Structure formats: C-alpha cells, structure tokens
Structure 1
C-alpha cells in the first residue's frame, strides 16, 4: 500500500477508483485489474506514502494466480481450505474478465473464518508442515507502514496493533482478530449500513469489544 500510485478508496464516491474499477472496460485479452491499474498515475515515491488500495490486493491475486498457474480458488482450496479442514465450501466473486476479485468478496462460514485465523496464528502449518515461507507471518503481521493512527499500523495485508494483535478487516464490519499472546481468535460478521475502509467510530466500537474479550481472558488467567 506504499507503491505511490494515486488511488481513491472512498466507497461513497461514485468517481472513486473502487467504483470506476467495477465499471472499467478492460483492454482485449487483458485482466481487468491489470488493465485498470496500469493506467493510474503516481503521486509519491514508492515507500514514502501509505494509502489503502484494494486494487493493489487485486493485483497481488493476479500475480499469485499467474505464478501458480491456477485460479485463486483452486490454489486456496489445495493449500489451505481442504487440508486445514474447513467445515464448508466457500465462494469467491469474479471480476468481468473471470478472475477472482482478490481484494474482497470471499463468502465463507464464520467458523471457517475463525479456522483461517487459527491457521495464521499457528504459523501457517497444516499437519505440522509449513504452507507459507518461514518468517513471513511474523513480518506480515508486524507494522510495516504508518497509517496515521496511534497504536496501529499496516503490515503485509494485515492491520496491526502495537500490542502484537492484528486484524483482517472487512468494509462492512467483518473481521478476524488475532492475538497470539492470549491464543485468541475472534471472527465477526458485519452489518454496518455504509462501507468504509478506515472503520471510524464503528471500528473503534468493534475494537473496544475485542479489547473487552482480551481483558476477560486476563481476568480469568489471574484466578
């Protein structure tokens, strides 16, 4: 999210990049993400400015799919979903050129989102064997960029907290909260009336709930 590419993530703005992406007419034979992203202008030197951009997560998905030679759904199913024992099948929405929209749009059971949290908290292991490169989770869940909010930051696709916890956040309130110190995973559904990437007061209320669970665990440990 520090590429320096100019991007507007405002979901209420019909002229934002997230809105225009869904209406974009891709070039013939080119994935919609690549077609849209490569037309954008730069506004800062890479590594100097953090701006949340769903388009960059979409682009990561294109790269992962191209490198593996499989759809993201197939790759996720093969590497994590089936071997880790998820309870139900999941679905993933496709863009206009037939590729999964990797910055969003996975529909799965809440318990399976929690299982995914356990997978990450456990080091990305399946039957004791690593699925992810050594050290990646530690780097990904550590603050790599300042987002202008005290006590919080952004890693590699994870929102980080300075106490060591980290979160996957959805724009309608969905979340996977992971606190390795307390061995805690919370998966929450979302029902916010308006989409938002910066979370605002509703995000603070949700975080306050997670904090209360942490305190409850601490109280229980002291008994």
Structure 2
C-alpha cells in the first residue's frame, strides 16, 4: 500500500486497522466499557475512549508492578509554546489534540515537564494502551537479559531460546535479524484482512503458536528483506520469557519499573496462560511513558548502575533496515529518524519520541478512528517537528 502525505513523501507500511479476537463489546459512552468486541480495531470512538484506558478489564493481562519510591518529574516554570502550520492551517497544542483525538500529551525537556495535557475525558492517573510501542519495550528487555547473562548475544539463533522454531522457517535467523524485522519469513501485516498473517497470529503465544510461525514460508535470505511483523516481536518476547524464566511484566518490573521509580502499575496484554504478547499492548500512565523515555535518555542506567550492556542503546537505535515508512529507518524495534532521534510508534496514534541531542521526549497517546493514514501521521509528525523547533528556540533564548 502507498500513502502520500502533504510533502509528497511516500509511505508504504500497511498501517490499516488492527484486529484482535477476544472478549466483550458495545459501549455507547466513555463511561461504559465495550461488552462484546469482535475486533479491537473496529471499536467506535466512545468504545476506544473507554477501552484504551482499561484494557485489563477486557483482555487477559499481567501486572507490571511499581515500587514504593516514585521518581519526581519536576515541572518547568515556563511551559513550551508549540505552534505550527500544517497543510496551510495553523495549529496550537489544543488544535492538534482535538484534530488527532489525543488523550495524553507530554513533553519533557532537560528532565522537566514543559507540556502536559489530557483530552477525551482522561485523567492523569489513568493508563492508556501502547499498541506497538510494546515492541520497543520488549527489545529493551532483550538488552537487559544480555546484561544479566541470560541471553548470550543478539547474534545467537532465535531458536536457541524458542526451540519450537528449529527445523522451520526461522532456522538460522538470529535475534538481531528478528529485532530488525529482517528474518526473511514471509508475513502480511494487514490489519483489515481476516485472512492475513497478522489477523491469525498476532495475539497468540505459546508452543503451538511458535510451531505455526516456524511453518510459515521464507521468501528471502535472513537479513535481506524488511517485513514488519507483530508476531515476530511476540517471538522476541518469548525468547526473553524463556531465557529469564520470568514473565515480561515481572522482568520489566524488576529491571526498570520499580528501580527507576514509575508512579503506577502497568499492565500487559497476554495469552490466557499469562504469556505476554511482546509486540502489542502494554499500558501505563502518561508520565510513566515519559519516565521510560528518560531511562533511555539516561543511557539505560539507574542510580549509576547499568541495566543494559555498554553501547546497547546506540546499537538498538541505529539504522539497521530501510522501512519504506516515510524517511524512518528501523533498529531493534525502534523507528530511527535521519537526525539521530528515535521513536516507538503504535497504531491509532501512539508515539514515544526521544531526541538524545536535545534531551527531548514527546509522548503522544491517541484514539484515531483508523489505524493510520497520511492525514493523521502527517499531522502527528508535523507536531513532533514543531516540538523540536520550539525546544531549539527555547534553548537559544536561554543562551544554551
């Protein structure tokens, strides 16, 4: 699929409509959760507004436990003013939030909150689901497992940690190739087609699912072709679970959530057996997404102690693959900007943007009525650029 945005750049990644298949369904107000849902991607706007903040009441989840000590996020005395023009129309922060159905917007500059806004009736203590930003968190746990000696190297075969993959399409595929979506295993990430690989496999976990993935065809040499695959991220999550002997939620809690000082428990969508889907849907408060961004900005260290291997963040956010999605490359489950910034992206308007050079973090959480599209992404990316520009102006005015 090709999508053209206002500046003429072509996007080819098929961000259409996400489809899940469990529990519950039809809400008519923000206060009423979906009670019978065939596909998460087809929730009405009011169902999105209720369900995205309460996923644990609809789907099986595990809990990412927070600790007793909360890391403070100081608020800057002077907020950051962000105004911009997109497609010949001027936008303020409020205009952007309304147009893109934003439920939470957080900008942290130099460790201080310079913008914090909520929409769609959301409160600061409410979680919001991440969709594919979960992939970026899962890849960070791979780094932690390497630091802990549980995973030897990203150059190990994935089947070393998920033995059900031996003898099939993933034979010889390394963790690094899976992390960069270059396994060569054929995959269709079409959210709108019930017969696509995504619709059949993306929410599954467990040995039967791993064997089904192994039975898929391979149509490229490992490392040669980029296929965006949510289920491949689930396999990466399975590698972490098997290598550490812990759930993703427990491992994340022990390595980052508690020691870094997240303010609230998170939750992670899982299979009925409690195996988290490494590619989709962990949920947290807006500020805790920002704290995760700070963890990355601070080099994956907590109280001076490394959680990740030396050089991991630079390697994970390097441009290992060309994605065809705007001008973004792809790293270890992170999207990589040409200027050295990087971001986690989730459909329906989720973003975690990190600019190490400027010490800038932007978190956007939304409820788009479609998974993507040029108008929605174009406006979001224009806002991110405007936040960068506003940060530069503020630094210049302060003489930095």
TM-score by length of 2: 0.52
Q: Which residue of 2 aligns with 1:107?
A: 283
Is the aligned partner of 1:171 residue 2:347? yes
Is the aligned partner of 1:192 residue 2:368? yes
Q: Which residue of 2 aligns with 1:13?
A: 193
RMSD (Å) for aligned C-alpha atoms? 1.7
Deviations 1:29-54 (A, max 9, x none): x5354133112110111111101101
Q: Is the CA contact (8 Å cut-off) linking 1:31 and 1:99 kept in structure 2?
A: no
Q: Is the CA contact (8 Å cut-off) linking 1:93 and 1:100 kept in structure 2?
A: yes
Is the aligned partner of 1:209 residue 2:391? no
Specify which of 128, 133, 147 is matched with residue 304 of structure 2.
128
Q: Give the deviation of 1:207 after TM superposition.
A: 1.1
User: 1:23, 1:217 → 2: CA distance?
Assistant: 39
- 1:222–1:67: structure 2 CA closer, same or farther, 3 Å change rule? same
Specify which of 254, 261, 268 is matched with residue 78 of structure 1.
254
Unaligned 5+ segments in structure 1 are none
Specify which of 155, 159, 167 is matched with residue 331 of structure 2.
155
Q: Is the CA contact (8 Å cut-off) linking 2:267 and 2:282 kept in structure 1?
A: yes
User: 1:111, 1:32 → 2: CA distance?
Assistant: 37
Unaligned 5+ segments in structure 2 are 1-180
- 1:41–1:139: structure 2 CA closer, same or farther, 3 Å change rule? same
Q: Is the CA contact (8 Å cut-off) linking 1:91 and 1:106 kept in structure 2?
A: yes
Q: Which residue of 1 aligns with 2:60?
A: none
Q: Give the deviation of 1:22 after TM superposition.
A: 5.6
User: 2:236, 2:256 → 1: CA distance?
Assistant: 18
Q: Give the deviation of 1:149 after TM superposition.
A: 4.4
Specify which of 203, 222, 236 is matched with residue 60 of structure 1.
236
Q: Which residue of 1 aligns with 2:207?
A: 31
Deviations 1:35-79 (A, max 9, x none): 331121101111111011011110010000111111111100000
Q: Which residue of 2 aligns with 1:142?
A: 318
Aligned length: 217
Q: Give the deviation of 1:214 after TM superposition.
A: 0.5
SS of 2:276's partner is coil
User: 1:170, 1:149 → 2: CA distance?
Assistant: 13
Q: Is the CA contact (8 Å cut-off) linking 2:297 and 2:354 kept in structure 1?
A: yes
Q: Is the CA contact (8 Å cut-off) linking 1:33 and 1:55 kept in structure 2?
A: no
Q: Is the CA contact (8 Å cut-off) linking 1:33 and 1:59 kept in structure 2?
A: no
Q: Give the deviation of 1:97 after TM superposition.
A: 4.0
Structure ranking higher on relative contact order (CA contacts 8 Å, 6+ apart): 2
Higher helix share: 1
User: 1:97, 1:153 → 2: CA distance?
Assistant: 35
Q: Which residue of 2 aligns with 1:182?
A: 358
Higher strand share: 2
SS of 2:383's partner is helix
Q: Is the CA contact (8 Å cut-off) linking 1:145 and 1:153 kept in structure 2?
A: yes
TM-score by length of 1: 0.92
Specify which of 193, 214, 219 is matched with residue 393 of structure 2.
219
